[in-house]
Amino acid sequence: MFKTVLSLQWKEFNRGKSVGGKLVAKIFKWFWIIYFAIMSVMIGILASAYGGPSMEFPLENNSLAPFEYANGQLIYFFAYLIVMRYFIQSLPVLNIRSFLLTPILKKDIVRFSLLKTILTYFNILPLFFLVPFTLALASSGNYNTLGLISWNINLLGLIYLTNFFNFLLNNKNNLIYIVGAALGLIKALEYFSIIDFTIYSKEAFYLFYDIPYLSLFTWLFVFWLYSYVKKYFVTGLYIDTGLQVKIKEAKMDDFSWLNRFGKTATFIKNDLRLLKRSKRARTAVYMGLGLLFYGVIFQSTEDVFGTTSAFFGYLFSTGGFLFMFGSFVPSWDSQYYPLMMTQNIQYKEYLNSKWSLMIFGTIISTMLASIIYSFSGLNAVYAVLAGAAYNIGVNGYLTLWAGAYTKTPIDLNSSANAFGDKKAFNVKTVLVGLPQILLPVLLYFFTSQYYDHFMGCVAVACLGALGIFLKPVAFNLIMKAYKTEKYSTLKAYKSN
Amino acid sequence: MIEIQNLAKKYSTQTVLDINILKIPAGQTFGLIGNNGAGKTTLFSCLLDLIKPTKGKVINNQVDVSISEDWKSFTTAFLDETFLIGYLMPEEYFYFIGELRGLSKQKVDSFMSQFEDFFNGEILGGKKYLRDLSKGNQKKAGIVAALMGEPKVIILDEPFANLDPTTQIRLKKIIKDLSNYKDTTILISSHDIQDVTEVCERIVLLEKGELIRDINTSEETLKELEEYFKARIN
């Protein structure tokens, strides 16, 4: 039975409509996994000689400090593991409905779904840390080998506990609130240094080293949780209970105050509803908000690479929403593109509404970014404003234009990660995308080399301002691209 | 009203549509019938400029649909669920389509009030998005949206499939009224011989993309069509 279902899953992947895109996404994913694996090994080796921030590195004396320090941090590791799993790990979704009427036992269906997760990278990656770390400790000769083995077995057990716990988290709404509140509390208590959890964590994990057979209890607990989760799912295998898709109660959104903007408003109203009601579209907003802080990362590289790299960061921080939303125009409308194409709509109005929304988002991002980066001084704010002008005047058009060649349908009802979405791998989109980033950065680089930071910002801002004046020209070009691509776009969206 | 000239659609070697000439006068209720793969949906998609024909053209009220977009102001359609916007509530969807057709909110409301029976209380005033409605109710919403704004041409792909019996009868009456009193040209495709003969003044039978019969509906039409399809079995 395992073999049959596995082969079905392979076919599902292999014969899906966008195999190429999925493959690219997979390669991307594995690239990151391998990267993290290598990092884990390195951290594992380094950690075996690290006793905490207050001690010298590497540790010379033969103390238990590295082990104790690691034990102290483990509580945070598991807290983060739970959070990361909840947001990133996708639970295996078999097409369960079609199996219900086959002679496969219900508990086998569930067992397959659960056991498939055993080898997921969330469970394997920690080993890349644990194995070198343990080996390094053991070779120092200060440790009791049996104790170390037991300690590892315990951790592995806890990792699998979080694995099965994640199933419950994803299915029980009340539980997620409780766990979320608990984790938030831990974080808050730590942040305000009210309670130092590392002390308790140190003691607790040390116990499993000290008293080896304790690890057995962890695994008993793992088996209990596994069978509990299994039972929970088996009883839920009815189309009106566990398999029922939860329907949210709908609420009207009027937005009639937008009507003053004429035809453009007709579409903006819909797009606002889209952003509000579709998980996938909401992710774009969240990511836009997250990218506001992109500049912070690049600020730290300023000493090494000069102001240009920081400028790159600022440019992105105001354009986050623009890129995240704009790159998927018109894919947002992919599910009903035939409707759009037969309605009494001018392309110009349609594009203008998308553009307006992008610009509106950019303006809000700019206001927020100005506040955030005002703490870093006036120069940062200049760069933010220049980046915003460029995003509004140039990148708005370029993103829309690239959209004409983006033909990945979006399933609005799923929240599939916006990261992995295979879209970008289309030569034309990449070509259009290049000037979005390279041109302003180069312009800034040369002007700031000849003059100074301020003039660099002015130059980029001027380019943006020029773009705003050229809107009619730009729109004509974009419209042409959309018209010529119409049929192939319709076809691509159909094969969803 | 609609003139199809030399229209053909080929995918590599396979011809899925090949119609020499077909004229549909204004105000006609036109039915399209045929088995799977006959080219019904392909023909409708060409009429709506959703796919580009390999050769030939479609003239809708003097407008060549592949050149100008002016046909959109007097033509509406409901082919499948890709004509619905899932994240909208039915009311919001109707207002949206209404706005595109130049109807005020009040006009949409009064238009909708005619369809209270048709909706059977399951569409308006509910607390669901279109994506959460049943297939039948989604179809009702899509069809009614296509009737909005007094279009001159309405194209419906299999409008009767998936509808409950009462709704089918109501829809037939709506279509007949539209063609009798408003002079609307209505194009319908169906798998059900009885449905089209009941509603349509003229029936065209397609097979493998070619026009096989072109019948003005009469008493004998149902029998004629039945015999044609029975003969295909052997």
Distances (CA, A) of B74 to B26, B152, B171: 12, 5, 21
**In this complex, which of A247, A336, A494 lies closest to B84 when CB atoms are compared?**
A336
Residues making up chain A, counted from first to last = 496
Name every chain A residue with its beta carbon within 8 A of the beta carbon of B99.
Answer: 263, 266
Q: Chain A: which residues have CB within 8 Å of chain B? A: 247-253, 263, 266, 269-270, 273-274, 277-278, 335-339, 341-346, 412-413, 487, 490-491, 493-494
pLDDT at residue A157 in the model: 94
Rounded to 10 deg, the angle between the A378-390 and A347-373 helix axes is 170
Q: What is the pLDDT of residue B146?
A: 93
Instruction: Tell if the CB–CB gap between B84 and A339 is shorter than 8 Å.
Output: yes
Shortest CA distance from A346: residue in chain B: B69
Query: What mean pLDDT value characterizes chain B?
Result: 89
Q: In terms of CA atoms, which chain B residue is nearest residue A252?
A: B89
Task: Find which of B50, B52, B155 to mutate to test the A interface (most A CBs within 10 Å of its CB).
Answer: B50
- CA-CA distance, A171 to A162, in Å (whole number)? 14
Q: Do the Cβ atoms of A153 and A63 come closer than 8 Å? A: no
Contact A345 B82 (CB under 8 A): no
Are A167 and A91 a contacting pair, CB within 8 Å?
A: yes
| Closest of A284, A436, A418 to residue A357, by C-alpha | A284
What pLDDT shows up at residue A247?
A: 66
pLDDT for A418 equals 38
Between A252, A337, A341, which is nearest B91 by CB? Answer: A252
Give φ, ψ of B6 to 5 degrees: 55, 35
Using alpha carbons, list the distances in angstroms from residue A290 to A187, A296, A321: 20, 11, 9
Q: How far apart are CA A161 and CA A145, in angstroms?
A: 24
Chain B, nearest residue to A333 by Cα: B85
Q: Do B72 and A343 touch (CB under 8 A)?
A: yes
Dig out the tokens for A132 from the structure: 């070198």
CA-nearest residue to A255 within chain B is B92
The rounded distance, in Å, linking the Cα atoms of A302 and B144 is 60
Write out pLDDT tens, residues B15-37: 899 999 999 999 899 999 988 88
Determine the residue among A342, A350, A480, A484 to mutate to test chain B binding: the one whose Cβ has the most chain B Cβ atoms within 10 Å. Answer: A342
Q: How far is CA B184 from CA A199, A354, B45, B74, in A?
A: 81, 34, 19, 10
Tens digit of each residue's pLDDT, chain A (496 residues): 677 777 877 777 777 655 666 677 677 778 888 888 999 999 888 888 887 777 766 776 667 788 888 898 898 889 888 888 887 777 665 566 777 777 777 788 888 888 888 888 889 999 999 999 999 888 887 888 899 999 999 999 999 999 999 888 877 778 888 888 888 888 888 778 888 888 888 889 999 988 988 899 999 999 999 999 988 888 877 766 666 666 667 777 777 777 777 778 888 888 898 888 887 788 788 888 888 888 887 777 776 677 788 888 888 888 888 888 888 888 888 889 999 888 888 788 888 889 999 999 999 999 999 998 888 888 889 989 999 999 999 989 988 888 888 777 777 765 444 333 434 345 555 566 677 778 888 888 888 888 888 888 889 999 999 999 999 999 999 999 998 888 888 888 886 4
pLDDT for A177: 85
What's the CA gap between A458 and A300, in Å, rounded? Answer: 23
Instruction: Tell me how close the Cα of B2 comes to any Cα of chain A, in angstroms.
Output: 16
HSE (CB half, 13 Å, CA atoms) of B58?
25
Choose among B80, B87, B102: nearest Cβ to A274. Answer: B87
All residue ranges of chain B with pLDDT < 50 are none
User: Using an 8 Å Cβ cutoff, are A408 and A331 in contact?
Assistant: yes
Residues in chain B: 234
Task: Please name the residue that has the structure tokens 């009883």.
Answer: A235
The answer to whether the Cβ–Cβ distance between B129 and A274 falls below 8 Å is no
How many helices (DSSP H) and strands (DSSP E) are in chain A? 22, 0
- Interface membership of B132 toward A (CB under 8 Å): yes
CA–CA separation, B123 vs B90, rounded Å? Answer: 7
Residue A422 has a pLDDT of 39
* Residue A424, pLDDT score: 39
Q: What is the distance in angstroms between the Cα of B76 and the nearest Cα belonging to chain A?
A: 7
Give the per-residue pLDDT at A242: 62
Looking at residue A84, the DSSP 8-state letter turns out to be H
Q: What angle do CA B187, B191, B195 make, to 5 degrees?
A: 65
List domains and CATH numbers for chain B. Answer: 1-74+151-234 (3.40.50.300), 81-150 (no CATH)
Structure tokens at B116: 């209270």
Q: Which among A341, A412, A494 is the nearest to B87, CB-wise?
A: A412
Instruction: Provide, as residue numbers in chain A, all residues whose Cβ is less than 8 Å from the Cβ of B152.
Output: none
**Omega before residue A212 within 30° of 0, cis:** no
- The Cα A358–Cα A273 span in angstroms is 15
| Cβ neighbours of A12 (radius 10 Å) | 11
Could you give the ipTM of this predicted complex? 0.86
- Is B79 within 8 Å of A494 when comparing Cβ atoms? no
A409 touches A279 (CB < 8 A)? no
Cα B35 from Cα A149, distance rounded (Å) = 69
CB atoms A252 and B52 under 8 Å: no
Looking at residue A416, its pLDDT comes to: 43
Based on C-alpha coordinates, what's the Rg of chain A?
A: 27
Q: From CA A352, how far away is CA A331, in angstroms rounded?
A: 16
Q: CA A85, A90, A96, A99 torsion: positive or negative?
A: negative
Output the six-digit token pair for A365. 């991002």
Our measurement of the distance from residue A230's CA atom to the centroid of its chain's CA atoms, rounded to an integer in Å, reads 29
Give me the residues of B, 16-75, that contact A with CB < 8 A.
48-52, 69, 72-73, 75
Quote the CA–CA distance of A29 and A479 in Å, as a whole number.
35
* Residue of chain A whose alpha carbon sits nearest to that of B96: A266
- Residue A245, classified by CB atoms within 10 Å of its CB into exposed (0-12), middle (13-18) or buried (19+), is exposed
Sign of the alpha-carbon dihedral angle for B191, B193, B195, B201: positive
Which of B63, B92, B104 should one mutate to test binding to chain A, selecting the residue with the greatest count of A CBs within 10 A? Answer: B92
